[in-house]
Structure 1
Amino acid sequence: MRYVAVSRIETHAFRVPLTVPVETSFGIMRDRPAVFLRIEDEQGVFGWGEIFANWPSAGAEHRARLALEDIAPLLLGSDARQPRHVFRDLMRKTRIRALQCGEFGPFWQAIAGIDTALWDLNARAEGQPLRRLLNPGAADSIPVYASGIDNRKAHAGIAGARQAGHEAFKLKVGFDECDAGRVQDQAKDLGTHEALYLDANQAWSREQAADFLSRIEGCPIGWLEEPIAADAGEAQWRDLAEVSTIPLAGGENVAGASNFQSLIESRVLSFVQPDVAKWGGVSGCFDVARQVIDAGLTYCPHFLGGGIGLLASAELLAASGGPGSLEVDVNPNPLRDAFPVPAVVQGSMRLGDGPGLSVERLPDSLDPYRTFRGEVSQSS
């Protein structure tokens, strides 16, 4: 394969003010941010990626500039046809910079977005969807579930998600002592073919999490996600896995191939949830997905952001060949809804046949929300 150099990089940051803030157990989102990244090679082929930007509150603009001003000079001239090599190279070259400023997360997130854009570029060059570049036998339809539903407003949230075609719902918990009772009420209202999941967003100590699990034991709960801190240690996670029949889920706040390998080998999680925009991009997350499936566990990509990252997550799940489902946030978000995200029908999403992620350009409707735009090229 002939060497084709990366010749141009753009980053775009956006913010959408929220009328109704999105609450989690650890904080409140008062706007919806997103950072989209476009990479072009010397032949004019391009690809899009997304960089995690939900936290901290000022993170979007920081990551957009980090990718453009600190990492792009290391990327320009790299072989656009070798995304795995570029991913490893950028991780190596930025290690000391990240160590110097104590910001490994932002560097990893920016590199994840770059990796996704390079895979999109390569799928576009081949004229096929990303999932088929990764796996020629990839599925065209994937299961999905509605996410981002506050358990304190669950009746309205689930009703709206049902109307949008969902048959599985994830409730946010970790707010107060009434969480368990509200979960029990919602579980009683589930339809025959519906499923209920829970996400505590690392809210509790091991003891608090065990108490919560004991109070909902017997409820038809598909999983409890991040009941304790992601870095609490294998012993605490194993203790929780052993005190309840409700499976545990996590992985969005895990980074690094070796850490995922250890997590998978420990088998403390039944559902493993790497985030394509937080670490690994397509290169890292697809490798994790295959390891998860080979271990007999379930790969369920985590995602809560804009439309490009959601499309990439959908393509990854379809390519994985596993039985997992895709997280689809049901809170209003123009930075997601302006993109060609397929509709949900009876709990599933049928993916399109366009090249790459099927994104040609950023929709004009996003222009009022733009807070930053920058670009660099080999000639600049």
Structure 2
Amino acid sequence: MTTDSFTIRSIEAFCYRYPLATPVVTSFGKMLNRPAVFVRAVDEDGVEGWGEAWSNFPAPGAEHRARLVNEVLAPGLVGRKFDSPAQAFEVLSKGTEVLALQCGEPGPFAQAISGIDLALWDLSARRQRLPLWRLLGGQSRRIKVYASGINPGGAAQTAEAALARGHRALKLKVGFGAETDLANLAALRAIVGAGMLAADANQGWSVDQALEMLPRLAAFDLRWLEEPIRADRPREEWRRLQAAARMPIAAGENISSVEGFKDVLAEDVLGVVQPDIAKWGGLSACAGVARDILKAGKTFCPHYLGGGIGLLASAHLLAGIGGDGWLEVDANDNPLRDRFCGAVADVTDGTIVLGEEPGLGFTPDLSGIANYRSL
């Protein structure tokens, strides 16, 4: 991979909230609105790049992450020259380790740093006049996608609407009681036919509850069962689940270190591994993790549930790394996603095709969402 040094002129985060008529529901809580923290980086030559920081929870957390970017992280980067985005990522990560520990906020710092990292990768690819997926080593710009975030209420209608938009693969949220979960899975399997169907419990079960559900889930030919138990449960509990499961177990969005991913890749528990580039690691850490996932013989599926810029960057990562995984595309109402996801908005027969334009191939016009800005 070639490098092209740059000097940072400015970094700025913009925070938005889109109010929801129908909340997004998970087993651990509801989202009453959709936040997005978009990050713009500009170098001394006037080249800009865009990224996004994960900001879904807690409810008031998006504004905090935007302020971390603007008031804590950006001042330490402005005027500095870097040889690569990865170098800036290392400087930010190492330089804030003690501060993040002191205030008990490794997560928010990692997410704010990820947003900056994604913006710098976009900027770097634009400088080199390469689409980001090519800069990451990609050979094909077509990737598979799946419709995600399907709520327990109105699941069939959401699934049918997703298929009408071109989707051929679905993921249902479960963890709302066996009767509701099984009825929704039956409905979605009928709707998607032989297409891919997965389920996500969002850490909602104990290991005993998960073991009780596994035989009942076997009838639906699930491509994977995601986070059936808490991400921090002992590895022995995860091994028990894998031994009893008739479908692959998936996780990764709540792993936040290279060492954590090395641990899960060294064992056979997870069949599908899902780092989230806006939540931890950006592209600087997660590109290497994604390559390691494929080397370990597992399926790489980037996790994502936010605004459009991070979704588009996740698409470029999947196309850049390759493999046979799917890109997660939220099926719920969110103009902060739809207006800014570029090629991801055009789903045809379960796939999207990225462009050959430099960087992300998309420059956001934020003027159209000015009324949603919260910081």
| TM value normalised by structure 2 | 0.96
Is residue 357 from structure 1 mapped to residue 345 from structure 2 by the alignment? no
Counterpart Cα distance in 1 of 2:51 and 2:280 = 13
* Alpha-carbon distance in 1 for matches of 2:155, 2:236: 33
| Structure 2 counterparts to residues 48-67 of structure 1, below 5 A | 48-67=50-69
In structure 2, the CA distance between the partners of 1:361 and 1:292, relative to structure 1 (3 Å rule), is: same
Aligned to 2:115: 113
1:187 and 1:367 map into 2 onto residues whose CA distance is 37
Distance apart, 1:217 and its partner CA: 1.9
**SS of match in other structure, 1:271:** strand
Structure 1 position 3, deviation (Å): 4.6
In 1, the alpha carbon distance for the partners of 2:116 and 2:126 equals: 15
Q: In the alignment, is the contact (CA less than 8 A) between 1:234 and 1:266 conserved in 2?
A: no
Greater CA drift, 219-228 or 3-12: 3-12
Q: What pairs with 1:35-50 in structure 2 (closer than 5 Å)? A: 35-50=37-52
Counterparts in 2 of 1:305-324, with a 5 A limit? 305-324=306-325
Match of residue 90 from structure 1: 92
SS in 1 for 2:352: strand
Residues 111/216 of structure 1: CA separation in 2 closer, same or farther (3 Å cut): same
Shift of 1:193: 4.0
Match of 1:22 in 2: 24
Letter in 1 for 2:355: G
Residues of 1 paired with 2:104 and 2:192: CA distance?
48
Aligned twin of 1:293: 294
Aligned residue runs from structure 1 range 317-332, under 5 A:
317-332=318-333
Distance 1:191 1:5, change over 3 A: closer
Q: Tell me the distance in 2 between the aligned counterparts of 1:349 and 1:184.
A: 25
Q: CA deviation at 1:23?
A: 0.6
The reply to whether residue 230 of structure 1 matches residue 227 of structure 2 is no
Shift in Å at residue 176 of structure 1?
Answer: 1.8
**1:77 CA drift (Å):** 2.9
Residue aligning to 2:197: 196
Contact kept in structure 2, 1:34 and 1:305, CA below 8 Å = yes
How many residues are treated as equivalent by the alignment?
A: 371
Q: In 1, are the aligned partners of 2:12 and 2:74 still within 8 Å (CA)?
A: no
Q: Name the CA distance, whole Å, in 2 between partners of 1:153 and 1:211.
A: 25
- The answer to whether structure 1 residue 276 and structure 2 residue 277 are counterparts is yes
Question: C-alpha displacement at 1:244, in angstroms?
Answer: 1.5
| CA distance, structure 1, for counterparts of residue 212 and residue 81 of structure 2 | 52
SS in structure 2 opposite 1:117?
A: helix
- For residues 3 and 275 of structure 1, the distance between their equivalents in structure 2, rounded to whole angstroms, comes to 26
Q: What's the CA shift for 1:138?
A: 2.6
Deviations 1:38-71 (A, max 9, x none): 0111111111010001001001110000111111
Matching residue's letter, 1:261: K
Distance in 1, matches of 2:184 and 2:21, equals 26
Give the direction of change, closer, same or farther, for the CA distance of 1:234–1:359 in structure 2 (3 Å limit). same
User: Does structure 2 retain, via aligned residues, the 8 Å contact 1:152–1:182?
Assistant: no
For residues 21 and 188 of structure 2, what CA distance do their matches in structure 1 show? 29
Return the alpha-carbon distance in structure 2 between the equivalents of residues 324 and 313 of structure 1: 12
* Unmatched segments (≥5 aa) in structure 1: 373-380
Question: Partner residue of 1:333?
Answer: 334
Please report the RMSD computed on the Cα atoms of aligned residues, expressed in angstroms. Answer: 1.4
Name structure 2 gaps, 5 residues minimum.
Answer: none
Q: Deviations over 1:128-150 (max 9, x none)?
A: 11011111x43110000000112
* Deviant stretches of 4+, over 6 Å: none
Once the two structures are superposed, residues 58-113 of structure 1 have per-residue CA deviations (whole angstroms, 9 ceiling, x without a partner) of: 01110000111111122223334411111112111100110110000000001111
